[in-house]
Amino acid sequence: MLGKAIHRSEDARLLSGKGRFVSNLQFPDMIHAAILRSPHAAARILEIRTGQARNLPGVIAVWTFADLKDVLKPIPQIAPHPSLRPRTPYPLVDKIVHHEGEPVAIVAAETYAVCRDALREIEVRYEPLPVVLDAEAGLSGSPRVHDDLADNCAAHFGQEAGNVDAALADCDCVITERFSIGRVSAQAMETRAVIARFEPDASTSRLTVWCNTQSPHILRSLLAQQVGLPRFDIRVIAPDIGGGFGVKNRYYPENTLIPLLAIRLGRTVKWVESRRESFLCTYHGREQVHQVTLGLDKTGRIRGLRDRILYDQGAYTTLGIVVPHITTISVPGPYRVPNYQVECTAVYTHKAPSVPYRGAGKPQACFVMERMLDAAAARLGIDPVEIRRRNLLQPEDFPYNTRLQDADATQVLYDSGDYPKCLEKVLDLIGHNSFEREKRDAALAGRKLGLGVACFIEMTGRGPYESGLVRVEPNGHIVVSAGISSQGQGQETTLAQICAHCLEVELGSVHVRLGDTAAIPLGIGVYAGRSAIMAGNAVALACAAVREKLMKAGAAILGVAPEAVEYTGGKVRELADPHRTLTLGEVAMRLYSPALVFPFPAGIDPGLEALRYYKSSRPAYSNGAYAVVVEVDPETGHVKIVRHALVHDCGNMINPAVVETQMTGGIAQGIGASLFEELQYGPDGRLLNASLDSYLLPRATEIPTLRQAHVVTPSPFNPLGLKGVGEGGTIPVAPALAAAIENALGTGMKLTHVPMTPPRVLALSLAAREQSDRTEEALIRS
Amino acid sequence: MQTRTVEMTVNGKTCSCSVPVTQPLAVVLRDRFRLSTSISCGEGNCGSCSVLLDGQPVRSCLMLAVQASGRAVTTVEGLDLQLPRLQKAFCQNHAVQCGFCAPGFTIAAAALLQNGFRPSEAEIREGIKGHLCRCSGYAGLVAAILQAAADG
């Protein structure tokens, strides 16, 4: 069952149009909500007039901060850090707007159309304030995003391993570069949605919230604080989710506002984010600036690396410094960096908060390291693949202590891997050996081809814990739950595979129930490639406990000693008399039924289930290498991906098809962020491209089928030997594409900004042509 | 809110319903008929809301429900003959992850493969480029449609 590319059980409903997406759910007597948002990035609210809106037929409520000031609290700061000067929003703006799209008023009405009409009737008088729109400008401290802070510094932290100053002073080659990574939006196909229902007379949880959240239990805890209800009085259900990518983990203002409407109005309330809102108010990712110095010896071996990072925090510290901290410990990547010093300043700006978006700081780190190696290769006249070979960590280096500390002060330790093997294998897959000839032939036909390669690692499976519940039913079927929800990563199938493997049962007899705080008491959620490692191992622990009880209870029912039975093929079997067997269902029946029907086995507790928590403080490290061949149109700057290949190592694979589809999906997002996607702001801080026709996601004509291969080095850090896969694809794409584009145009390391859009590539192409014209001219004259 | 009575055939059944004149067809299909039509962008950029209108794919978010008067609308639920073949191909090729775009792609595939058309990979990519998928990178979808075409 493990290691098999089983077809997904989720597909039955998703391919019949029966997906249970919150945005599509309907309830009888349901009303709708819509939110009035600030059109200004920075403003003081002078006055709000809601009278006209309230009077519209069909309008049930119009609220501003003033209407809720007795109950509204700032959204709690999670992920604190000693260096953090945190600021979090209220669910409705009181007086000062800090980014475009902040909620200023909320309307509830019988229909969504009436909500929209009511929004138009609300009059708000704003006094626009000066804006800070990038981290470098924000450093000056003026204007200030938060008046009660001395400047715009949200956090400052760093660390050093070794002695970088000494190392750099003693190098044959020192290179300094500046890199910038643009701000992006996750753009899942399903926007955020919340439905809330409050039943004051219910005997179980009175407040039920349906939300497409990646962390139902965390949402419940925060919601309890926000609405003043105890946790046990709230149930959060996250059914099918149309894409998450990290940004659906956060606690948003609507998570408080919609339940408050339900509680106060006594109606079921539904809110669905519009596509435009998803650009403005679903939080953003990635924006960083790096000032890097790399020192190497003349053979291209790294001696020292220094990185100064500016992180565009946005207006609030929603998840503290988690993302930039990950960047700081990820820059060295798969390489031996004997001396490394990194400093990061997170800066407040008048933009939506920056939070983890698939990759969570690792794509930026990989871009920096890979680009610096390309720069060094060009400077030293070493082949870019060879310079990587010389610096990659070797199999005998593991477990590898980077001498760096994670944000929770644990040592950053790489568990296992064969980095050189992944590189060699991807070179083979992409046709590296024959590429020079391919490139020459293409040049003769007037086509500019280029090849680029990048190596990467991926920290996965962050703790602190995840829950797994396994219960055998009297009919012999098994129900599995975990403290996670699914956004399409196939966990219903992979967790069933683990259970079927551990309990030696048919896959079809295992039913996985996720995304419900009523199904399992505690949980954390889905992010950073943790479902398989954390929920998978928790389910495996629970299965082991169930298996042990099966044997003990089965022996007692058969009237023999516990050592006299074995459990194989889904049955408890008496060793001395193999015809005497009990199925799981038969054992469960005895353990569930009252003593009146069957005698209850002595010394055994009722029920055949186990709830287990897998605790981990040791992330597992996946790794890989990505190679891409591009064709660049020197007249337009258009980049076409001719072919691409990936070799990836995620340790043991539960379901290789699930792994591969996660990788292709990640690479697709990597391509989007590398060639097309960047949020653009006007000078007043308003988003210019808050729409899918101006913020471009890659389409089927842009991404050829990926050639994939795997290397398997199980992780010694968890019992199942798993490593995560969720984020990996996003990590290596930008630097590999940059190298490929430069290779096609015959330039050195010049592309230092992500995304590499046609205008930027065209500028490089024109500069390269000008350079080669000048060179030719000089040759002719001489 | 002005309403009008519209008579249309939805998945083979003729029905008469009173709809607000400004309401998009996608909203009526999703909320009134409780069908699989999803609204992802509401602006015609992503294809999630695609349905067949008299056999041709359209973006139902860009149509008013009143414009479907006298027309035949088909959603995934109404693709009787082609659906099993498409579902099998999508499932076997692990084409779908979150599934939110799946109804739109199913409609697109059904439209592309009608009349026994057997597109090449390039023609498939061209044929579905009006549909966005954020999860999959399209490889499984393309392989699935190729397989469905061969099976058909």
Q: Which of B31, B46, B97, B126 has the most A C-beta neighbours within 10 Å, making it the best mutation to test the interface with A?
A: B97
How many A/B residue pairs have CB atoms within 8 Å? Answer: 170
pLDDT band at A266 (very low <50, low <70, confident <90, very high): very high
The dihedral through the CA atoms of A257, A261, A262, A268 has a sign that is: negative
Residue A596 has pLDDT above 70, yes or no: no
pLDDT band at A473 (very low <50, low <70, confident <90, very high): very high
Q: Cβ–Cβ of B76/A19 closer than 8 Å? A: no
Confidence (pLDDT) at B68:
97
Confidence (pLDDT) at A127:
98
Chain B residues inside the 8 Å CB shell of A8: 91, 94, 96
What's the average model confidence in pLDDT over A437-444? 98
Confidence (pLDDT) at A348:
98
- Closest chain A residue by Cα to residue B122: A701
Helix (H, G, I), strand (E, B) or coil at B33: coil
Q: Which domains does chain B have, with CATH numbers?
A: 3-78 (3.10.20.30), 83-151 (1.10.150.120)
Confidence (pLDDT) at A594:
63
Residue A719 has pLDDT above 70, yes or no: yes
For the stretch B76-107, pLDDT in tens is: 999 988 999 999 999 999 999 999 999 999 99
- Report the gap between the CA of A352 and the closest CA in chain B (Å): 20
Q: Cβ–Cβ of A241/B98 closer than 8 Å? A: yes
Query: Which residue in the set A186, A487, A699 is minimally distant from B129, CB to CB?
Result: A699
Q: Which domains does chain A have, with CATH numbers?
A: 11-129+186-280 (3.90.1170.50), 131-184+286-393 (3.30.365.10), 408-459+620-782 (3.30.365.10), 465-615 (3.30.365.10)
What's the average model confidence in pLDDT over B131-136? 98
Q: Which two tokens stand for residue A588?
A: 């469960």
Q: How far apart are CA A531 and CA A528, in angstroms?
A: 9
Residue A23 has pLDDT above 80, yes or no: yes
Q: How far apart are CA A255 and CA A210, in angstroms?
A: 10
Residue A58 has pLDDT above 80, yes or no: yes
Amino acid, single-letter form, for residue A413: L
**Count of beta carbons in the 10 Å neighbourhood of residue A557:** 21
Contact A316, A353 (CB under 8 A): yes
DSSP A596-633: TTSPPPTT--SSSEEEEEEE-S--EEEEEEEEEEEEE-
Q: Which of A4, A11, A15 has the most B C-beta neighbours within 10 Å, making it the best mutation to test the interface with B?
A: A15
Residue A367 has pLDDT above 80, yes or no: yes
Q: Cβ–Cβ of A15/B36 closer than 8 Å? A: no
Confidence (pLDDT) at A595:
60
For the stretch A631-655, pLDDT in tens is: 999 999 999 999 999 999 999 999 9
Q: Cβ–Cβ of A191/B40 closer than 8 Å? A: yes
For the stretch A544-572, pLDDT in tens is: 999 999 999 999 999 999 999 999 999 99
pLDDT band at B118 (very low <50, low <70, confident <90, very high): very high
B 19-48 → A contacts, CB under 8 A: 20, 22-23, 30-31, 34-36, 38-43, 45-46, 48
Confidence (pLDDT) at A290:
98
Q: Cβ–Cβ of A19/B36 closer than 8 Å? A: yes
Residue A603 has pLDDT above 90, yes or no: no
Contact B54, B72 (CB under 8 A): yes
Burial class (CB in 10 A: 0-12, 13-18, 19+), A242: buried
- What is the strand order of the sheet A96-97 is part of? A96-97, A43-49, A123-128
Of all helices (H) and strands (E), which one includes residue A510? strand A510-513
Write the CB contacts of B49 (distance below 8 Å, at least 6 apart in sequence). Answer: B26, B37, B38, B39, B40, B42, B59, B60, B61, B104
pLDDT band at A781 (very low <50, low <70, confident <90, very high): confident
Residue A495 has pLDDT above 70, yes or no: yes
Confidence (pLDDT) at A782:
79
Can you state the percent helix, strand and coil of chain A, rounding each to 5? Answer: 30, 25, 40
What ipTM was reported for this prediction?
Answer: 0.98
B141 and A CB contact within 8 Å: yes
Query: pTM (2 decimals)?
Result: 0.97
B 43-72 → A contacts, CB under 8 A: 43, 45-46, 48
Can you state the percent helix, strand and coil of chain B, rounding each to 5? Answer: 40, 20, 40
What integer best gives the mean pLDDT of chain A?
Answer: 97
Residue A467 has pLDDT above 70, yes or no: yes
Q: Which two tokens stand for residue A413?
A: 């330790």
What's the average model confidence in pLDDT over A257-272? 98
Q: Which of B86, B91, B135 has the most A C-beta neighbours within 10 Å, making it the best mutation to test the interface with A?
A: B135
Chain A residues inside the 8 Å CB shell of B11: none
For the stretch A156-206, pLDDT in tens is: 999 999 999 999 999 999 999 999 999 999 999 999 999 999 999 999 999
